[in-house]
Structure 1
Amino acid sequence: MKTLKLCIYCLLITTMSCNKEEKKELVLEVFETSASGNKLTKLNEFKTVDSTLVIKINPNKKFQTITGFGGAFTESSAYLLNKLSKKNRDTIMRAYFTENGANYSLCRTHMNSCDFSLSQYSYAPTEDKALKDFSVKEDMDDLIPMIKEANRISKDGFKLFASPWTAPPWMKDNKEWVGGKLLPEHYPTWALFFSKYIDAYKEQGIELWGFTVENEPHGNGNNWESMHFSPEEMTDFVQNHLGPKLEADGHGDKIILGYDQNRAGLKEWVDVMYATEASSKYYDGTAIHWYESTYDFFPEALQYAHHKAPDKYLIETEGCVDSEVPKWKDDAWYWKKEATDWGWDWASEEDKHLHPKYAPVNRYARDIIGCLNNWVDGWVDWNMVLDRQGGPNWFKNWCVAPVIVHPDADEVYFTPLYYTMAHFSKYIRPGAEVLGVENTDEDLMVTACKNPDGSIVVVIFNEGKEVKNYALSLNDEIKNIGIKGQAIQTIVIPKETN
């Protein structure tokens, strides 16, 4: 009898122990995109493989607050949408802006024309310092309707900022669309231009969140619309003209982001922008691009920029697979290291190593995770929609977009880049806080955020071709998960379980 009681007691203890262990299993959802064919696919089964690799989330260690993720409204994208059937236009717009889609929260557009316009134009084509003929009529057919439609279907809305590629040629020293500098006598005129743009878009029912001062102030090799600023010249314009003018016209709440070019030049620019209280007064943050390298996200430069102005925004405002004609309905290409960029042909010999062939998905996933782990709070893709040539683009500067269309056949192709963007934009919401992560595997890139609703989101990228088994740990709860080779996973941990 004593033996029987002892056995029952042991059984109870074992059962209680097992129940206790079950309660410690982390409750979560996993979504995966992979070279093998998953496209933001929800995974429902996991092999219970014990792993020595543990990815530990530290919810008590918090970093920057997320502003958002998204893409750019360009005339090229808007024009293409208008050439498609209503069904396909709606499919693309809903894929970008609804909760069931990528749910973009931070977007860009161009002020005046850019290379991804159908032609060169300005809202003030005739010389007049009062800008009496200012009009956004060039945007009325395609660009403005696209932005308004996005606003209509986006439940949470999105922040929209604008970037000029150049002032009208008559305001510049070379009187050209390309290159040259803004004449000092037109600093007040150009500041007025920004103010009038805010009013004109507001009349169309579009509220601007802010601006970058100038797209790529170093220029772009004198190819398409551009205007040059030094750090000192831009800071003079912002400090003494743009900031005061917007404030005087009741637009002082609009965000102003300085720089707006590649990360390698960050130190030089932020040292000038944030040198004094007066110089930094009207700057709300710094804008950056990724074209300095196909793989290096320049963590030291990002860290430096953040610590120079820890209370300011640090936003990636443009990135794309540049200088490439997109591959049509060929998912495999986006995972292969075959693509090149401008630097493959044109970078100096000393910088060639920064521009090897790369896989487009790798470039996006590596860069976004690298940015989030180094104080960047927003990440914005370039064109949302392009055609099979990688345009239209008046300069024939072909690039790749997450969505490619064949307007003559009314066909749409969602490339793997669309799903890569959605792994972040759909699940990491504005106001989320980046969390600390302990990851012992250098072959996996990991970032984590806590959303305003209390859910925790973890994004993991496995660039290699081998399956990786790992244990995800949070608050002493754990879950064994596997990630395929060449795959991205987004893991959502609901509030009630973390």
Structure 2
Amino acid sequence: MKFIKPNLYMLLLFTIMSCTKKETALVVEVYETSANGNQLTKITEFPSEAKGDTITLVPEKTFQKITGIGGSFTESSAYLLNKLSKANREKVLEAYFGESGARYSLTRTHIASCDFSLSNYTYAPVEGDVEINNFSIEEDRDDLIPMIKEAMAISKDGFGIVASPWTAPPWMKDNKAYVGGKLLPEYYEAFATYFSKYLEAYKAEGIDIWGLTPVNEPHGNGNNWESMHFSPKEETDFVQNYLGPKLESDGFGDVNILGYDQNRAGIKEWVDEMFKDEASSKYFAGTAIHWYESTYDYFPEDLQYAHHKAPDKYLIETEGCVDSEIPKWKDDAWYWSKEATDWGWDWAPDEQKHLHPKYAPVNRYARDIIGCLNNWVDGWIDWNMVLDKQGGPNWFENWCVAPVIVDPDNDEVYFTPIYYTMSHFSKYIRPNAMIIDVQNTNDALMVTAAKNPDGSIAVVVFNEGTTAQNFILNLNGLTTNIVVSEQAIQTIVIPSKTQ
């Protein structure tokens, strides 16, 4: 019988234990943004002992494919960037579109003017010009087009653009005004031509538009700024019989038309009409939604309903922002505290006021994006990328907050906690990623996860509470112990080679 010397025995035992540990340990990279000061900070120290609840990833069970995540090009944002120094302008665009930044992959812009323009304007100002021969995007050449082109040059993977008009040219409407009113039926064909001219003009600038919505917020906005009303039936008729066929005949049949483009609580009557039969559905590529119905409810039942009504169509959040607020300059704590109020705080009907309590901006973003991704939404687009300290410029003085606030007079840039919150999703959940199933035993945490085309998995965890949370992350039996700080959002990246 052979005896192993004690020192050799210990070495063998250590080797076996090391191999076992290696086989069961899940290798991850963790990034956190928190109320205590982390800003997409890499976290490297976690407890060695497993304790707490378990978050189990089930990558073999998949849901929707991600189209993209990003923000919007507005004239206000582009104008402000033009007032900054070259260094700061490049800093902001790199932060949104560069490999070191948020890597925005899906964006939005406005067709002619909106509230976040410097003035009212249309691309077709000549009344009665039904063939739209006097079409011009000259208004966009100073600010908007240069911003989009610079972002395109910076973005390695590129990004899609959804374009929306806030109104048709006023002369096409029953009230002849930028604000309110309806598109007259005799101008349906002319308005369809207007879209085609827009796509052609932007294409000539080297900018391809990925998608369109027939109008922003067809229920109107209280007749405050540019708007135009459509009923579900009217918009469906316009798309089915005018816009869809026109784009198809003019070579723009691959541009995705997204219907509705307003708050989720009203979505059911819209998808019922849009997708009622094959003819009505033909030219709709999907549905666009906004978040302004509530500061805390992401309306999962409505999202589920919309998905199941058209399971093969897009379901994209095209606008959300902290509205009716003046930004808090370089005050990170405000973005984590329940001090923000939106339009509904003052103006919602009594029966809806409960949907609009004071809220923390970071919480609203993190909760909504996770809620959307866990309920079939495949794209999420923030509103303005850049605003000033007043929350503008905005011709109607409808102040809002953006992830990046600038002071052009002093050439200063402030990246708010909202910027880092957006980055937790856009930077790590890439186009064509698949949302995967997550089993979470901790009710204090919101979680979503996606498997990217390169095989990596991104897990986003949100802890709204004031107590740090420990949990075990489990993937196919491989585990690691994680702590997420109080009032924090984490992205956990699992590289494909370590799974």
Shorter-chain TM-score category? over 0.9
Which amino acid is the alignment partner of residue 469 of structure 1? N
Matches of 2:238 and 2:481, distance apart in 1:
55
Q: Secondary structure at the match of 1:60?
A: strand
Q: Secondary structure at the match of 2:489?
A: strand
How far apart are 1:17 and its partner, in Å? 4.1
Assess if the C-alpha contact under 8 Å between 1:48 and 1:481 holds in 2: no
Which amino acid is the alignment partner of residue 112 of structure 1? A
User: How do 1:248-397 residues align onto structure 2 when only pairs under 5 Å count?
Assistant: 248-397=249-398
Could you give the per-residue CA deviations for residues 21-74 of structure 1, whole angstroms, max 9, x where no partner exists?
Answer: 332100110000000000000111112242130000001100000000010000
Matches of 1:80 and 1:2, distance apart in 2:
81
How far apart are 1:188 and its partner, in Å? 0.1
- 2:49 counterpart of 1:39: no
Could you give the per-residue CA deviations for residues 103-145 of structure 1, whole angstroms, max 9, x where no partner exists?
Answer: 0000000001000000000000111101111000010100000
Matches of 2:279 and 2:437, distance apart in 1:
34
Q: Secondary structure at the match of 2:225?
A: coil
Matches of 1:61 and 1:307, distance apart in 2:
18
Which amino acid is the alignment partner of residue 28 of structure 1? V
How far apart are 1:327 and its partner, in Å? 0.1
- 2:462 counterpart of 1:461: yes
Q: 1:215 matched to which residue of 2?
A: 216
Which amino acid is the alignment partner of residue 252 of structure 1? G
| Residue 4 to residue 98, structure 1, CA distance change in 2 (3 Å) | closer
Range moving further from structure 2, 123-132 or 235-244: 123-132
User: How do 1:132-143 residues align onto structure 2 when only pairs under 5 Å count?
Assistant: 132-143=133-144
Which amino acid is the alignment partner of residue 65 of structure 1? K
Matches of 1:4 and 1:317, distance apart in 2:
69
Q: 1:80 matched to which residue of 2?
A: 80
Could you give the per-residue CA deviations for residues 243-288 of structure 1, whole angstroms, max 9, x where no partner exists?
Answer: 0000010110100000000000011100000000000000000000
How far apart are 1:10 and its partner, in Å? 8.9
User: How do 1:30-69 residues align onto structure 2 when only pairs under 5 Å count?
Assistant: 30-69=30-69
Matches of 2:52 and 2:158, distance apart in 1:
42
Matches of 2:14 and 2:415, distance apart in 1:
51
Which amino acid is the alignment partner of residue 140 of structure 1? R
Q: 1:92 matched to which residue of 2?
A: 92
Assess if the C-alpha contact under 8 Å between 1:182 and 1:227 holds in 2: yes
Which amino acid is the alignment partner of residue 70 of structure 2? G
| Residue 151 to residue 7, structure 1, CA distance change in 2 (3 Å) | closer
Percentage of matched positions with identical amino acids = 71
User: How do 1:165-184 residues align onto structure 2 when only pairs under 5 Å count?
Assistant: 165-184=166-185
Q: 1:149 matched to which residue of 2?
A: 150
Runs of 4+ in 1 over 3 A off after TM superposition: 1-15
Unmatched 5+ stretches in structure 1: none
Q: 2:123 matched to which residue of 1?
A: 123
Unmatched 5+ stretches in structure 2: none
TM-score (norm 1): 0.98
Could you give the per-residue CA deviations for residues 177-213 of structure 1, whole angstroms, max 9, x where no partner exists?
Answer: 1111000000000000000000111111111112011
Q: 2:452 matched to which residue of 1?
A: 451
Matches of 1:309 and 1:282, distance apart in 2:
13
Matches of 1:406 and 1:178, distance apart in 2:
30
Matches of 1:329 and 1:7, distance apart in 2:
60
CA-atom RMSD in angstroms: 1.4
How far apart are 1:13 and its partner, in Å? 5.4
Q: Secondary structure at the match of 1:295?
A: coil
Could you give the per-residue CA deviations for residues 429-478 of structure 1, whole angstroms, max 9, x where no partner exists?
Answer: 00000000000111100000000000000000000010101010001000
Matches of 1:174 and 1:328, distance apart in 2:
40
Range moving further from structure 2, 120-129 or 16-25: 16-25
Instruction: Work out the number of aligned pairs and report it.
Output: 498
Matches of 2:248 and 2:18, distance apart in 1:
64
- 2:407 counterpart of 1:406: yes
Matches of 1:409 and 1:9, distance apart in 2:
69
Matches of 2:398 and 2:18, distance apart in 1:
62
Q: 1:105 matched to which residue of 2?
A: 105
Which amino acid is the alignment partner of residue 237 of structure 1? F
Matches of 2:175 and 2:104, distance apart in 1:
39
TM-score (norm 2): 0.98
